[in-house]
Amino acid sequence: MRPTTRRRFLKSSATAGAALGLGDLGFFSRLPRVSAAEARVNPVVVRFNPEIEPLVRLLEDTPREKLLEEIGARIRRGLSYREVLAALLLAGVRNIQPRPVGFKFHSVLVVNSAHLASLSSPDSDRWLPIFWALDYFKSAQAQDVKEGDWTMAPVEDAKVPTASNARQVFTEAMDNWDEPAGDAAIAGLVRTAGAHEIFEIMCRYGARDFREIGHKAIYVANSWRTLQAIGWQHAEPVLRSLTYALLDRGGDANPAKNDFSADRPWRHNQSAVSKIRADWIQGELNSKATGEMLQTLRQASPEEASAKVVELLNRRVAPQSIWDGLFDAAGELLMRRPGILSLHALTSTNALHYAFQTSANNETRRLLLLQNASFLALFRGDDKKLKSLHLDEFEPDLGTSGSTPSLEEIYADISHDRMRAARNVLAWAKQNPDAREFINGARRLVFLKGNNSHDYKFSSAVLEDYQNVSPAWRDRYLAASVFNLRGSGDPDNDLVHRTRAVLGS
């Protein structure tokens, strides 16, 4: 990220708002200077590194209506982006219970999405998603207080395993769904093992069951990615929270001793993975095979979906062509049944694909492919509730004039006619092979119009994955995305309204 000076930030913020006709975003320049005393130590609450603890306590203790002003003042005095990002993640980890792995816990899951949005944005927008996430944390914190005020406690050091057996103790705890043992063991593992070694373990457990509709895999990817930005020295509390989340069984009895539907794909695919040829990574791009994968996922069971992946790999189809089918199947599902369940088909596919790209373990990578296919079959659910629509047969709309629609028309259509907007995106993309202009505008609309965590999670995932889909299939994937993006006709979000009111602008 380019360093953002105060002058550059204020000037570019105003320019960005004017460009979309949404007002002057330079209100950050009027944030007042506010001081805060460092909080006292609470022995029953986990403590972070001394250099970040005061800032975390500031986020925790400052009232919601004053937090943005306080952080703005500190940024002007030299507080860095990285420090804000670290404190934001750690405040959520300490104060928000990761069960269920969703709902109010999205304040933690969304930190990486906000960070990705910042990284991918022009200077004018860099701070906007982070300020939104700060405000959202305060909302989630208040909700957590209402629901019992969960707070992460210090680890029981006497139970932390030694370096020689930390990995074994951790895997046994996870396999047996043993929460106390898992909490102590992950602390020992973080203190003695390498970051990539731990990721290899965690990405498997994030993909092993379908509870929380993919949020476990999402938390694995998002926590890892944020730690890469803020530093591994913050890993222990984050991975303790992650471990607790991965062991959530949603009220079920111990899955290690039972046969629940959420666990069956993993058990099946652990056997199926051995049927894949040894040189599976070497194959040919095959658009026809992508179509076959897409067709299979329209009616297949979880077992049939992963069996199709095995078949295609053994036919020497490149993994990329299979991922193309998975990405577009998720996009098609969103078009056929817009809503919370379907959008998680895309965000969980984003997380599993990231794990696939990052893992260096041959078996793990194959398992992630199989699990993603199985999960998409589960996301499909009741076929009777799905619209009759096939993404690979979707046609662009050039209107009566036959001219390419403008981006302004597309953004306006998203607010009142998403199907027309999708067809117009496909028409626009055929004339604009480089979609960055659309993506930048769509992302900016999320900053200004987004009103929930899914706006950030979804947009960061799909706008990233546009580049992960092969050129032959990515325009259709982008067209499907408008079914959960924000349009120019949507109202400004509460943060914009509140901040303007506070600053009198």
Taking only the tens place, the pLDDT of each residue in 102-154 is 999 999 999 999 999 989 877 767 888 899 999 999 999 999 999 999 999 99
Task: Examine residue 253 and state whether it is found in any structural domain, yes or no.
Answer: no
Q: Are 368 and 203 in contact (CB under 8 A)?
A: yes
> Does residue 426 sit within a domain?
yes
273 and 372 co-located in one domain: yes
Cis bond before residue 100 (omega within 30° of 0): yes
Report phi then psi at 316, rounded to 5.
65, 35
What is the dihedral angle through the alpha carbons of 98, 461, 377, 356, rounded to the nearest 10 degrees?
Answer: -90
Q: Is residue 205 part of a domain?
A: yes
132 plus 15 within the same structural domain: yes
pLDDT at 383 over 90: no
Which segments of 64-207 does DSSP mark as H helices, in order? 64-76, 81-95, 106-119, 128-146, 166-175, 179-192, 195-206
Least-confidence region, from 117-126, 258-267, 416-425: 117-126
Buried/exposed 129-153: b ≥16 CB within 10 Å, e otherwise: bbbbbbbbbbebbeebeeeeeebbe
Q: If you average pLDDT over residues 413-437, what whole number do you get?
A: 95
- What is the predicted pLDDT for the residue at 19? 41
* Residue 505 belongs to a domain: no
Same domain, 286 and 354: yes
pLDDT at 497: 65
Q: How far apart are CA 127 and CA 460, in angstroms?
A: 15
Q: What are 271's two structure tokens?
A: 């056997």
Q: Are 475 and 353 found together in one domain?
A: no
Q: What is the mean pLDDT of residues 151-162?
A: 96
136 and 176 both lie in a single domain:
no
pLDDT, tens digit, for every residue of 46-97? 989 999 999 999 999 999 999 998 998 898 899 999 999 999 999 999 999 9
Residue 178 DSSP class: -
Packing angle, helices 418-431 and 436-449, rounded to 10 = 150
448-469 pLDDT, tens digit each? 899 899 999 999 999 999 999 9
pLDDT at 400: 57
Claim to verify: residue 13 and residue 120 sit in the same structural domain: yes
Average pLDDT, the chain: 90
| Residue 32 near residue 66 (C-beta atoms within 8 A) | no
pLDDT at position 504 over 70: no
Q: What is the pLDDT of residue 55?
A: 98
In the predicted structure, residue 31 carries a pLDDT above the cut 90 = no
**Listed residue (333, 286, 278, 344) closest to 305, CA to CA:** 333
CB atoms within 10 A of CB 449: 23
In the numeric block, which tokens belong to residue 145?
């207080």
| Percentage of the chain modeled with pLDDT above 70 | 88
| 284 bridge partner residues | 317
Q: Is the pLDDT of residue 29 over 80?
A: no
% the chain with pLDDT above 90: 80
Q: Out of 12-16, 32-36, 87-91, which region has the weakest mean confidence (pLDDT)?
A: 32-36
Cα-trace Rg, the chain: 23
pLDDT band of residue 200 (cuts 50, 70, 90) is very high
Whole-number pLDDT of residue 426 = 95
Residue 251 forms part of a structural domain: no
End position of a domain, from candidates 334, 350, 385: 385
Q: Is the pLDDT of residue 27 over 60?
A: no
Residue 437 in domain:
yes
- Give the length of the chain: 505
Q: How many domains does the chain have?
A: 4
pLDDT of residue 45: 83
Give the integer Cα–Cα distance in Å for 347 and 454.
9
Q: SS3 for 333?
A: helix
Distance CA 383, CA 119 (A): 38
Q: Which domain holds residue 379?
A: 261-385
Residue 76 pLDDT: 85
Q: Is 284 helix (H, G, I), strand (E, B) or coil?
A: strand
Residue 501 has pLDDT above 90, yes or no: no
The answer to whether residues 367 and 398 belong to one domain is no
Residue 166 belongs to a domain? yes
Indicate if the pLDDT at residue 16 is higher than 70: no
Phi, psi (5° rounding) for residue 317? -85, 135
What's the helix, strand, coil split of the chain in %, to 5? 70, 0, 30
Q: What is the pLDDT, as a whole number, of residue 34?
A: 28
Query: Which 8-state DSSP code applies to residue 317?
Result: B
Tokens read off for 5 = 């000076």
Q: Closest Cα to residue 220, out of 119, 359, 81?
A: 359
Residues 71 and 191 in one domain: no
Residues 292-330: tens digit of each pLDDT: 999 999 999 999 999 999 999 999 999 999 999 999 999
Establish if 173 belongs to a structural domain.
yes
Residue 161 has pLDDT above 70, yes or no: yes
Whether 142 and 107 map to the same domain: the answer is yes
Terminal Cα-to-Cα distance of the chain (whole angstroms):
29
14 and 141 assigned to the same domain: yes
pLDDT at 91: 98
Rounded mean pLDDT of 262-280?
Answer: 98
388: left (phi over 0), alpha (psi -120 to 50) or beta: beta
- Read off the pTM: 0.90
Is the pLDDT confidence value at 40 over 50? no
Is 138 found in the same domain as 11? Answer: yes
Per-residue confidence (pLDDT) for residue 384, from 0 to 100: 81
How far, in whole angstroms, is CA 332 from its chain's centroid? 19
Answer yes or no: do 121 and 12 share one domain: yes
